């Protein structure tokens, strides 16, 4: 799948609602049969809140974990959260996952994941990794961008939503959900996108928004070395190109982009 290159920007009106990174590995029984005392002791200053759970996670985290095909109810997992609960780390016998609702830059996210992964690898020594995944969820809410008078054809590119570009057909669309699995140069991406209903907490009013959920992943034997970071760097680069390819110039400008250097996003 070819995606045109695009300048790296940071949006002042950032549409990201969640970013998640997940690594899978062959099962390590030590994790499920012994509380992670040593692991917690080394990360608890950044992630002081702890829980061990077999129960349902909060909805926003549950959705991400399920989309990454991680066990929720039938496997013991350990959760470590920052004090504000906006950074959440989970480990189980066959995965480690970091999620955040306050993503700013890829460098910041990668730094936090590197720190916990170095501790995890030193203590549990996974043989190798079997899956690497990086997921971005963007939610376009027109009222937050001053775009209430714009149609979706003004904001979402024809590349992914040609239905909006038929003037007679567009006015009849009440919902649209698409789920595509696409090959990329470095793996695959599960792209889910479409219209969703959101509830505004302040006004308690519902609004139709557009969700762009891109889960980049590769499933193969991956050694414990720079290969993991090379893959994640490529996923991040592809995610930036995919998002820009999926939106119009009107939406891009409404989010107030600021160009920055480097190759992350």
Q: What is the pLDDT of residues 6-27, one digit of tens each?
A: 889 999 999 999 999 999 999 9
The predicted model scores a pTM of 0.87
pLDDT, position 71? 47
- Which of 82-91, 125-134, 167-176 shows the lowest per-residue confidence on average (mean pLDDT)? 167-176
118 lies in some domain: yes
Residue 262 pLDDT level (bands cut at 50, 70, 90):
low
pLDDT (tens digit per residue) in 146-173: 999 999 999 999 999 999 898 778 778 8
Strand order in the sheet with 77-81: 49-53, 77-81, 87-92, 95-100, 16-24, 129-140, 206-222, 187-199, 177-184
Q: Report, as an integer, the average pLDDT of 113-133.
A: 96
4 lies in some domain: no
138 lies in some domain: yes
66 lies in some domain: yes
264 lies in some domain: no
Considering 18-22, 29-33, 202-206, the range whose residues carry the highest mean pLDDT is 18-22
Number of domains in the chain: 1
206 lies in some domain: yes
Domain range for residue 185?
A: 9-259
3 lies in some domain: no
Does the pLDDT of residue 87 top 80, yes or no? yes
pLDDT, position 201? 67
pLDDT (tens digit per residue) in 177-200: 999 999 988 899 999 999 999 987
pLDDT, position 205? 83
């Amino acid at each position: 799948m070819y995606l045109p290159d695009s300048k790296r920007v940071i949006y002042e009106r950032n549409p990201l609602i969640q970013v998640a990174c997940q690594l899978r590995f062959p099962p390590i029984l030590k994790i499920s049969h012994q509380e992670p005392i040593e692991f917690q002791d080394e990360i608890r200053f950044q992630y002081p809140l702890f829980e061990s759970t077999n129960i349902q996670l909060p909805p926003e985290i549950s959705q991400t974990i399920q989309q990454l095909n991680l066990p929720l109810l039938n496997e013991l997992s350990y959760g470590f959260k920052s004090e504000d609960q906006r950074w959440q780390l989970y480990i189980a016998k066959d995965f480690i996952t970091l999620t955040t609702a306050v993503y700013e830059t890829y460098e910041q996210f990668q730094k936090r994941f590197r720190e916990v992964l170095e501790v995890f690898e030193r203590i549990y020594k996974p043989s190798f990794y079997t899956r690497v995944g990086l997921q971005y969820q963007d939610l376009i809410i027109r009222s937050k961008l001053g775009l209430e008078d714009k149609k979706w054809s003004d904001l979402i590119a024809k590349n992914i939503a040609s239905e909006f570009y038929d003037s007679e057909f567009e006015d009849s669309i009440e919902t649209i959900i698409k789920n595509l699995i696409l090959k990329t140069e470095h793996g695959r991406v599960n792209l889910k996108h479409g219209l969703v209903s959101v509830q505004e907490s302040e006004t308690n009013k519902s609004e139709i928004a557009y969700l762009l959920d891109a889960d980049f992943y590769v499933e193969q034997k991956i050694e414990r070395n720079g290969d993991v970071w090379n893959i994640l760097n490529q996923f991040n680069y592809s995610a930036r190109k995919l998002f820009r390819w999926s939106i119009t110039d009107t939406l891009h400008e409404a989010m107030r982009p600021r160009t920055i250097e480097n190759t992350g996003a």
